[in-house]
Amino acid sequence: MPTPEKILIIEDDAHVRELLALQLEAAGFECHQAGAAQSGIDAAVKLSPDAVLMDIQLPDSSGFQVCSTLRKRSKKMVLIMMTARFLMPEEKTQGFELGADEYVTKPFDMAELTARIRQLLSRRQGT
């Protein structure tokens, strides 16, 4: 049996974070969680996840900063930004320039999110 892909969820809302982890684990992923930017970066360094789902608004920093830090460490890691608000085009552009692979707006459809993660991971493995 292949090793499940590791996903790190960086989200300050514990309810959202745990719900995401439950749903993604049910879809066959191995999930890890962090509630703030710095603990998320530390976890990413320790775990080397295949993908990171990160909220843009975190209590100790921004998802943009986390994205930039993680992209400098790994070109292969899939980085997905999550937001609960409408983003201006320049904010999205900033995220992509910092290395984000995808954006999702809360609330999102779990089946769609799972499919996006699988698609991004399969592209990375093809490189």
Phi, psi for 115 (deg, rounded to 5) = -65, -40
CA–CA separation, 6 and 66 (whole Å): 18
Per-residue pLDDT tens over the stretch 28-64: 999 999 999 999 999 999 999 999 999 999 999 999 9
Q: In the numeric block, which tokens belong to residue 115?
A: 């499919």
Report pLDDT for 87: 73
pLDDT 10s digits, 66-84: 999 999 999 999 999 998 8
pTM, entire model: 0.93
